Amino acid sequence: MKNCRRASPPVRPDVRVVSTLAAVIALAVFGIAALTSLDIAAAVFYGVVVLLVASAGNRPATIAAAWGCVALMLLGFMISHNGAYSGGAIARCAVSLLAIATTSRLALRNMAATAMLHEQVEMLNLAQEALARSTAELAHVTRITMLGEMAASVAHEVTQPIAAIVTCGAAALRWLNRPAPEIDEAAQSVTQMIRDAKRADEVIQRIRSMAKKRDRLPATVDLNGIVGESIELVRLELERHRVELKSDLAAPPPTACCDRVQLQQVLINLIMNSVQAMADVTGPRKLRIATRRFDHEHVQVIVQDSGTGISEENSGHLFNAFFTTKAEGMGMGLSICRSIVEAHGGRIWAESPAAGGAVLQFILPVDEGRCHEQ
């Protein structure tokens, strides 16, 4: 599902390097303060020392630097005034100490706020990862549920080539058992058996891929090919509901970088939704599936039906989790579709044209080397 980018903590300077640099600056400030009467200027530079140490994000080191600056400030004050403390000198010393204390307090407060922010970001990252895992689990469960609902179609797709293999096998035996064996005819029957066996294997492999629990595997896929495979898996459902199918596939076939199984899951879900939306239609039940180039950067898949359409009341909630207009629906199919499409950098939406029915469509980024970059 959607990739969660963990927010990396800011790169902190090494506390030992910073402490060493701060110590050098503090000693230089101390020398200036001890040999001159520029107490206020010295206080400013002591504040710089505290902020420099605080930039390393080490609270104990910051506190130690603050107390060290206070000690150096007082020692420099006593040396520079040599016991002659006027009221102005004491006031300047107090202001300097206040400046160091204020800078230290603000630095420590900022460190605490930063630490809390980092903790919240980490919690958000963990929550996003947990959400991604939950979404992936839910997508897997949805695929299994969808395969269960399509059990008749799946059985038909598998038994049809098996029945053809049996028929061709029997024909091959008859050709071989003749008084003068017809080798060419038998070879042709065997060739048909191999073709049908491969077809059955492809169907089983597609079903196994959809049922398998695994991470997303982006690859360059042919959208027209995915549409064809999806139609084959639901063909019996289309026939059972007397749906007239029209494929309008782009040439040359558009390609996208995405997970083949997840894209197939989206297509089958949209097709099945359209079939169910036309269940109560008394007139012609027409389903159109189209692929095309949407713009320079995206390809588009369109699933259009002649069903009852989408009411204005439901249009804004169609892809929300747990929203459904079906009596026995879970309301997760279209929500999962949206998660999958958005995880691939695409967008999915629905329209209800004036002519009737509904149009469910999504776009995906064009594959321009994206899969090779991942």
The count of C-alpha atoms lying within 13 angstroms of the C-alpha of 294, restricted to the half-sphere facing its C-beta, is 18
- Token readout for 138 is 């839910």
Reported as a pLDDT band with limits 50, 70 and 90, residue 70 is: confident
Cross-strand partners of 219: 258
For domain 218-373, give the fold: Heat Shock Protein 90 (3.30.565)
Reported as a pLDDT band with limits 50, 70 and 90, residue 33 is: low
- β-strand 358-365 against 298-305: which pairing, if any? antiparallel
Tell me, what's the pLDDT at 4?
Answer: 44
- Listed in sequence order, the residues at least 6 apart from 240 whose beta carbon sits closer than 8 Å to its beta carbon are 152
Distance in angstroms (rounded) separating the CA atoms of residues 278 and 283: 9
- State the alpha helices, DSSP H only, in 212-251: 223-240
Torsion on CA atoms 237, 281, 357, 238, rounded to nearest 10 = 10
Reported as a pLDDT band with limits 50, 70 and 90, residue 2 is: very low
- Listed in sequence order, the residues at least 6 apart from 142 whose beta carbon sits closer than 8 Å to its beta carbon are 265, 269, 332, 333, 336
Provide the 10 A C-beta neighbour count for residue 55.
16
Q: Is 60 exposed, middle or buried (0-12, 13-18, 19+ CB in 10 A)?
A: exposed
Average pLDDT value for residue range 130-152: 63
Tell me, what's the pLDDT at 299?
Answer: 92
Q: List the one residue out of 334, 306, 161, 178 whose CA is nearest residue 242.
A: 306
Tens digits of per-residue pLDDT, 285-328?
Answer: 999 999 999 888 899 999 999 988 887 777 666 777 655 655 45
What is the phi/psi pair of residue 181, to 5°? -50, 130
Q: List the one residue out of 291, 267, 274, 266 whose CA is nearest residue 343.
A: 266
Query: For residue 374, is pLDDT > 60?
Result: no
Tens digits of per-residue pLDDT, 251-291?
Answer: 899 888 888 878 888 898 899 888 888 888 888 899 999 99
